[in-house]
A and B are shown apart, each in its own frame.
Chain A
Amino acid sequence: MKADKLSNIMKPLLESLIAIIIGVVIGAVVLKVSGYSPVEAYAALVKGAVGSIYGWSMTLSSATPIILTGLTFAISARTGIFNIGAEGTVYFGAIAAIVFTNMFANPVLGLIGGIIAGILWALPAALLKVYRGVHEVISTIMLNWIAFYTALYLVLGPLANPNDPNKTLEVPASARLPLLMKGSELSLAFIIAIVAAVITYYILWHTVLGFELRASGYNERAAQYGGINPKRAIIWSFVIGGIMSGLAGATEVMGRPPSYAISQGMANIYGYGFDGIGVSLVGRNHPIGIIFSGIFFGALKAGATYMQIDAGVPLEMVKVVQGIIVVAVAVPGLWDLVKKVVRR
């Protein structure tokens, strides 16, 4: 039993490691062929991501929002749901945080605002799924766009900053999450993300609710036969997922210098929901795995700057190489998921 459990952990770990190596090697070939030194480039990547304290701070701060959105995807995947609505939820989490902190100037209430917004925006897809049988992939894709344009309207209209046309109202200084290190972007938000991941782990594997979620994820009908209400499970998985993404949006505006606001085109909160899917896949939809894969993604992001400055690799090339690594790393998780879906 114990050996079995160990191999349960070791196998995916080993697979991921091999995948990383394959990705890195292919990336090196691409770099070499394009006329850049792979050694120099990777050295710069590593140096930028983990070679200094500031590098670490960049890595961890970049990991923060995608750990949270990764959790959104993971908890729904564990429930057999393919929730790609994290993106839209992040927008509303960020907006709610701005509204709440401007009303109350209190960081806790800002986070609560993000959570409430996350829950509310997760519900439409959940209810449509449970009561009308609308497939969540369709509904969440559509809802992402509704969220995008609604949020854009709010950002440009009611929440626009009268003193600075390029962004929304700022989170007031008293409601910002404190930085863990001066002169960096690493704030308390990272700790919040870690705690959220641990709580998600606890819920999934140490509570009745978690058992219900996972059971209905393995086999909805069997779960129902066993006395579990899969509808309840699905709604809960959306709600918990919404909380995580809402937090991602809230912590991003409350914890990231310099602007502490949403910029005009929302580019500073765009894309985290989609990144989260990759993070979750690489982390095998496991909350603890997601912490590490989130940091891995964060390191790639942080290292990108150094690859440009130190090794002179243009950003397009950096993106290509990182894309190759990410795809390679995601393959095992993707394969698992595909097998599961096809089996069902």
Chain B
Amino acid sequence: MKRSVLALFLIGVLAFSVVASGCIGGEKTTTPTQTPSSPATSSPAQTTTEEKPKLKGAIAVVYDIGGRGDLSFNDMAYMGASKAAKDFGLELKEVQSKSESDYLPNLRLLAQSGKYDLIIAVGFMMTDAVKQVADEFPNQKFAIVDGFIPDKPNVVSILFKENEGSALAGALAGLIAANDGKDKVGIVLGIEIPVLYKFEGGYRFGIKWAEDYYKKKTGKDVNIEVLYTYTGSFTDPAKGKTAAQAQLGQGAWVIYQVAGAVGLGVFDAVSEYLKSQGKEMGPPFAIGVDSAQDWIKPGVIIASMMKRVDVGVYKAVEMVVKGKWKGGIMELGLADGGVGLSTIDDVKAMFNSLPEDVKKKKLEELGLKSEDELFAKLEQTRKQVPDWIWQAVDELKQKIISGEIVVPKAFNKEQIEAIRNAKTWQEMEELAKKWEKSS
């Protein structure tokens, strides 16, 4: 009897491991991939626009292990690439990566075939692989999203000024809290890596700016404390939930998530908190990240700090097609539309890019009848925040774009500590200018 129980258990473990061994790397569930449906009908036809477009008529995208259906990075890269393919009449080849050791062969095989005008690698994890393959195939053009490869003529690195976008998130959070007489806001992050310091630093800058703005407007002194948690994961929503619950318990009024899938737990925590208060809409609010995530939990997510990977990818393809290729860094900030706070239109575009069945399921889950109802609810969510706050955030945006205000960009522990200790946004701006000079 006992033995058979053990045997059964073993079978279970085995069956699991066998199945798992077949699909390691596929932790994220992916919505059914739409195969690229843009046939290369008229690729060589429209080559009259610019001078030297000896195009092969195809581009390729290599996704990282997150893969399509992540509602974030990879999906946005697809959005940009498919739009570019359509606009410029190119064929689009998509290649997913099962594990990290696939990056190099994926890139190499594409480069070997010599069929592609541009190979786009999505994600910083491919940095080393792109470097190597770029050296092996000097005539092949590459673009890498979020990877830093400054010195190769055939590679363009698409980077984003997340600090600028996060400053807007911070200003929004800070003003909402101040306006409601609260003195704490939160930020939940993933694994503590230097990239995230850019987000945290920008957020803190925005909050300090908000304090100053609020004082000028109302004459009232506010001092907003930032609760921050590095969860040590990008994939475990339970960690995000715990972290957000703790922050809410301490009185955080807005929580910004910078943690990939962990952030879904942050949204859950805020949503449950609202329910326990008998409220359908915040505050407290959450702020989404990377893509316009507002639709995931209308009423809970006030806005999202978007990283427009699609814009970056599109620009890279455009450079190739128009014969204006230039290797090196392409850093997109507020001014280029590379980062920014989501508007209702952004959310609509994001939602509409989802597969039909996913949309339907989401609407059912939210108990809404139509998309219009969802968008109406999103509008209503935004109305929970007074207009002057939105205008203030826009004012900050314009000032950053014009260069009047410089947002600090923290790259390492020392720099983020300096920002954490700064008392005013002007002090942070001094730091920003100092770092810019030294780099």
Q: Which residues of A contact B (CB under 8 A)?
A: 48, 54, 58, 62, 82, 84, 137, 152, 156, 164-167, 183, 185, 256-259, 263-265, 267-268, 270-271, 274-275, 277-279, 281, 297, 301-302, 304-306, 308-309, 312, 314-316, 318-319, 322-323, 326-327, 330, 334, 337-338, 341-342, 344
* B219 is an interface residue with CB less than 8 A from chain A: no
- Give chain B nearest CB distance to A182 CB in angstroms: 10
User: Is B21 within 8 A of A326, CB to CB?
Assistant: yes
Identify 11 new A-B residue pairs, CB closer than 8 A, beyond the known A183-B136, A267-B65, A341-B7: A54-B109, A164-B127, A165-B194, A167-B128, A270-B24, A277-B17, A278-B22, A305-B102, A315-B96, A323-B22, A342-B4
Q: Can you report 13 A-B residue pairs in the complex whose CB atoms are below 8 A from each other?
A: A137-B13, A156-B193, A166-B127, A259-B128, A264-B193, A271-B21, A274-B20, A278-B17, A309-B113, A315-B97, A322-B23, A330-B18, A334-B15
User: Nearest Cβ in chain B — how far from A206, in angstroms?
Assistant: 29
Contact partners of A156 in chain B: CB under 8 A: 191-193
Interface of A, secondary structure class, is helix
List of B residues within 8 angstroms of A342 by Cβ: 3-4, 7
Chain B positions within 8 Å of A152 at CB level: 232
A235 → chain B closest CB, angstroms: 22
Given contacts A185-B104, A304-B98, whether A326 and B18 have CB atoms under 8 Å apart is yes
Q: Would you call B438 an interface residue if the criterion is a C-beta within 8 Å of the partner chain's C-beta atoms?
A: no
Given A271-B99, A278-B17: A338 and B22 within 8 A (CB)? no
- Chain B interface bracket (under 10, 10 to 19, 20 to 34, 35 or more): 35 or more
Kindly report which residue of chain B lies nearest to residue A153, judged by CB atoms.
Answer: B232
With CB as the reference atom, state the residue of chain B lying closest to A35: B35
Q: B195 contacts the other chain (Cβ, under 8 Å)?
A: yes
Which of B10, B21, B109, B234 is within 8 Å of A309, CB to CB? B109
Q: Is B273 an interface residue (CB 8 A)?
A: no
* Cross-chain contact of A256 among B11, B101, B112 (Cβ < 8 A): B101
Decide if B110 touches A274 in the complex (CB within 8 Å).
Answer: no
- Alpha-carbon gap, A154 to B8, bound state (A): 37
Knowing A264-B191, A308-B95 are in contact, say whether A166-B125 is a contact too (CB < 8 A).
yes
Q: Is the CB of A344 within 8 A of B234?
A: no
Please, how many angstroms separate the alpha-carbon atoms of A277 and B191 in the complex?
30
From the candidates B20, B32, B105, B195, name the one contacting A58 in the complex (CB within 8 A). Answer: B105
> CA A274 – CA B27 in complex, angstroms?
14
Bound together, the chains give a CA A271 to CA B26 distance in angstroms of: 11
Contact partner of B100 (CB less than 8 A), chosen from A263, A274, A316, A337, is: A263
Minimum CB distance partner of B6 in chain A: A341
Residues of B within 8 A of A312 (CB): 35
Please give me the residue from chain A that is nearest to B34 by CB atom.
Answer: A314
> Does B208 make an interface contact (CB < 8 A)?
no
CB distance from A169 to the nearest CB of B (A): 14
Residue of A nearest to B234 (CB): A265
Interface residues of B (CB under 8 A from A): 3-4, 6-7, 9-11, 13-15, 17-26, 30, 32-33, 35, 65, 67-68, 93-102, 104-106, 108-110, 112-113, 124-125, 127-129, 131-132, 136, 191-195, 232, 234
A62 in contact with B191 (CB, 8 Å): no
Interfacial chain A residues near B104, Cβ < 8 Å: 185, 257-258
Q: Tell me, rounded to whole Å, the shortest Cβ–Cβ distance linking A327 to chain B.
A: 6
Tally of A-B Cβ pairs under 8 angstroms: 152
- Nearest CB in chain B: distance from A72 CB, A: 13
In Å, the complex CA distance between A309 and B102 comes to 13
A302 to B105, Cβ gap below 8 A? yes
- What residues on B are CB-neighbors of A302 within 8 Å? 105
A191 to chain B, nearest CB (A): 19
* Max chain B C-beta neighbours (<10 A), residue from A137, A152, A268, A271: A271
Residues of B within 8 A of A54 (CB): 108-109, 112
How far, in whole Å, are A306 and B105 apart by their CA atoms in the complex?
A: 10
In the complex the two chains form, what is the Cα distance from A275 to B15 in whole Å?
12
A165 touches B95 (CB 8 A): no
CA distance A341 to B23 in the complex (A): 26
Q: Which A residues are CB-close (under 8 A) to B95?
A: 305, 308-309, 315
In the complex, which of the residues B22, B94, B108, B192 contacts A319, with contact meaning CB atoms closer than 8 Å?
B22
Distance in angstroms between the alpha carbons of A257 and B102 in the assembled complex: 11
Cβ distance B157 to chain A, nearest Cβ, rounded Å: 13
Q: Which residue of A lies closest to B25 (CB)?
A: A271
Give complex CA distance A302, B65 in Å: 16
Q: Compute how far the CA of A277 lies from the CA of B232 in the bound complex, rounded to whole angstroms.
A: 29
Q: Please report the C-alpha to C-alpha distance between residue A164 and residue B97 in the assembled complex, in whole angstroms.
A: 22
Closest to B20 in A: A274
In the complex, chain B residues whose CB is within 8 Å of the CB of A304: 98, 102
CB distance from B303 to the nearest CB of A (A): 28
Take A137-B13, A265-B191, A314-B33 as given contacts and tell me if A258 and B128 are in contact as well, using a CB distance cutoff of 8 Å: yes
Instruction: Give Cα distance in the complex from A166 to B193, angstroms.
Output: 8
Residues of B within 8 A of A165 (CB): 193-195
Establish whether residues B35 and A268, one from each chain, have CB atoms under 8 Å apart when the complex forms. no
Q: Chain A residue with minimal CB distance to B194?
A: A165
Q: Give every chain A residue within 8 A of B234 (Cβ-Cβ).
A: 265
CA–CA, A325 to B127, complex, Å?
33
Closest residue on chain B to residue A313 by CB atoms: B35
Please name the residue on chain B nearest to A183 by beta carbon. B136
Output the least CB separation between A60 and chain B (Å): 12
Minimum CB–CB distance for B78 against chain A, Å:
12
**Are A309 and B110 within 8 A (Cβ)?**
yes
Q: Inside 8 A of A264's CB, which chain B residues have their CB?
A: 125, 191, 193
A73 and chain B: residue at smallest CB distance: B17
- Bound complex: CA A268 to CA B100 (Å): 5
Is the beta-carbon distance between A314 and B96 smaller than 8 angstroms?
yes
Q: A165-B195, A166-B127, A257-B132 are in contact. Are A268 and B101 (CB under 8 A)?
A: yes
Closest CB pairs A-B (n = 10): A323-B22, A315-B96, A271-B24, A278-B21, A268-B100, A258-B128, A258-B132, A314-B33, A326-B22, A165-B194
Contact of A185 (CB < 8 Å), options: B96, B105, B195: B105
CB distance from B339 to the nearest CB of A (A): 20
Q: Which residues of B contact A258 (CB under 8 A)?
A: 104, 128-129, 131-132
